[in-house]
Amino acid sequence: AQSVSQHNHHVILSEAASLELGCNYSYGGTVNLFWYVQYPGQHLQLLLKYFSGDPLVKGIKGFEAEFIKSKFSFNLRKPSVQWSDTAEYFCAVGGNTNAGKSTFGDGTTLTVKP
Amino acid sequence: GAVVSQHPSWVICKSGTSVKIECRSLDFQATTMFWYRQFPKQSLMLMATSNEGSKATYEQGVEKDKFLINHASLTLSTLTVTSAHPEDSSFYICSAMPIAGGWSDTQYFGPGTRLTVL
Which of A74, A102, A82 has the alpha carbon at shortest distance from A39?
Answer: A82
Q: What is the pLDDT of residue A85?
A: 97
Tell me, what amino acid is at A95? G
Task: Tell me the torsion sign for CA atoms B28, B31, B37, B42.
Answer: negative
Which of A110, A114, A113 has the alpha carbon at shortest distance from A36?
Answer: A110
For residue B103, the chain A residues in CB contact (below 8 A) are: 94, 96-100
A59 and chain B: CB distance < 8 Å anywhere?
A: no
Res. B103 pLDDT band, cuts 50 70 90: very low
For residues A24 and A96, which has the higher predicted lDDT (pLDDT)?
A24
Spacing of C-alpha A27 from chain mean position = 16
Tell me, what amino acid is at A33? L
> Which DSSP symbol is given to A47?
E
Distance CA B66, CA B60 (A): 14
pLDDT tens by residue, B9-37: 999 999 999 999 999 999 888 888 999 99
Distance CA B44, CA B63 (A): 17
To 5 degrees, how large is the angle CA B27–CA B79–CA B109?
40
Tell me, what amino acid is at A25? Y
Residues 18-47 of B with CB under 8 A from A: 32, 34, 42-46
Q: What is the pLDDT of residue B53?
A: 83
pLDDT tens by residue, A27-65: 877 788 999 999 988 888 889 999 888 999 999 999 999
To 5 degrees, how large is the angle CA A77–CA A81–CA A87?
85
Distance CA B36, CA B91 (A): 8
Q: Find out whether B107 and B3 touch, Cβ atoms under 8 Å.
A: no
B99 has a pLDDT exceeding 80: no
Calculate how close chain A gets to B13, using CA atoms only, in Å. 22
Q: Do B109 and A44 count as a contact with CB atoms less than 8 A apart?
A: yes
Mode of pairing for the β-strands spanning B57-58 and B44-51: antiparallel
Q: Do B104 and A32 count as a contact with CB atoms less than 8 A apart?
A: yes
A74 and chain B: CB distance < 8 Å anywhere?
A: no
